[in-house]
Amino acid sequence: MNQVFCDGDGEWLHLMRFSAGGIAFCADAGQIESVTVFDGADADRVVWLRDELGCRGAAGQGAPVLFGVKTGAERQYRVVVDRMEDFCQVACREIRPFPPLVERFALAKGLWGVVFPAGRPALLIDFLLLARKKRT
Amino acid sequence: MELTDPTLKSELLLSELKRHDRSNNIVDVEERRTKVVLVTVGGNSYAFYGDEIREILPACEISWVPGLPDFLPGLVIVRGEVESVIDIRHFLGGDQAAAQTGLIALAVSGDFRSGILIDSVEDVVDVPQSSIKPPLSTLSGAARDLVAGEIDLGETVIPLLDIGKLAARVTL
Ranges A77-81, A116-120, B123-127: which has the least confidence: A116-120
- From B88's Cα to the closest Cα of chain A, the distance in A is 14
pLDDT greater than 90 at residue A11: no
Residue A1 has what pLDDT? 38
Q: How far apart are the first and last CA of chain B?
A: 87
Over range A56-84, report the average pLDDT. 86
The nearest alpha carbon in chain B to A124 belongs to B65
Residue A133 has what pLDDT? 81
CB contact under 8 A, A106 and B66: yes
pLDDT one-digit tens code per residue, A25-59: 999 999 999 999 999 888 889 999 999 999 877 76
Contacts of A55 in chain B (CB under 8 A): 66
Q: What percent of chain B has a predicted confidence (pLDDT) above 90?
A: 53
pLDDT greater than 70 at residue B23: no
Contacts of B80 in chain A (CB under 8 A): 96
pLDDT one-digit tens code per residue, A91-133: 998 999 999 999 999 999 999 999 999 888 999 999 999 988 8
pLDDT greater than 90 at residue B108: yes
Residue A2 has what pLDDT? 40
CA B5 to CA A53: how far, in whole Å?
94
The nearest alpha carbon in chain A to B171 belongs to A101
Residues 6+ apart with CB under 8 A from B157: B133, B136, B150, B151
Report yes or no: B40 at the A interface, CB cutoff 8 Å. no
CA B51 to CA B105: how far, in whole Å?
12
Residue B98 has what pLDDT? 55
Burial of A132 (0-12, 13-18, 19+ CB in 10 A): middle
Residues 6+ apart with CB under 8 A from B97: none
- pTM across the whole model: 0.81
pLDDT greater than 90 at residue B26: no
pLDDT one-digit tens code per residue, B30-79: 778 999 999 999 888 999 999 999 999 998 889 999 999 999 999 999 99
pLDDT greater than 90 at residue A68: yes
- From A71's Cα to the closest Cα of chain B, the distance in A is 23
CB contact under 8 A, A108 and B67: yes
Q: Which residues pair with B161 in a beta bridge?
A: B48, B147
Report yes or no: B69 at the A interface, CB cutoff 8 Å. yes
Report yes or no: B14 at the A interface, CB cutoff 8 Å. no
- pLDDT band (50, 70, 90) for residue B7: confident
CB contact under 8 A, A99 and B63: no
CB contact under 8 A, B68 and A106: yes
- From A45's Cα to the closest Cα of chain B, the distance in A is 23
Residue B8 has what pLDDT? 74
- From B111's Cα to the closest Cα of chain A, the distance in A is 10
pLDDT greater than 90 at residue A73: no
Q: For chain A, which residues make up each domain, given as ranges?
A: 3-135
CB contact under 8 A, A102 and B63: no
Which among A55, A63, A126, A71 is positioned nearest to A97, based on CA atoms? A126
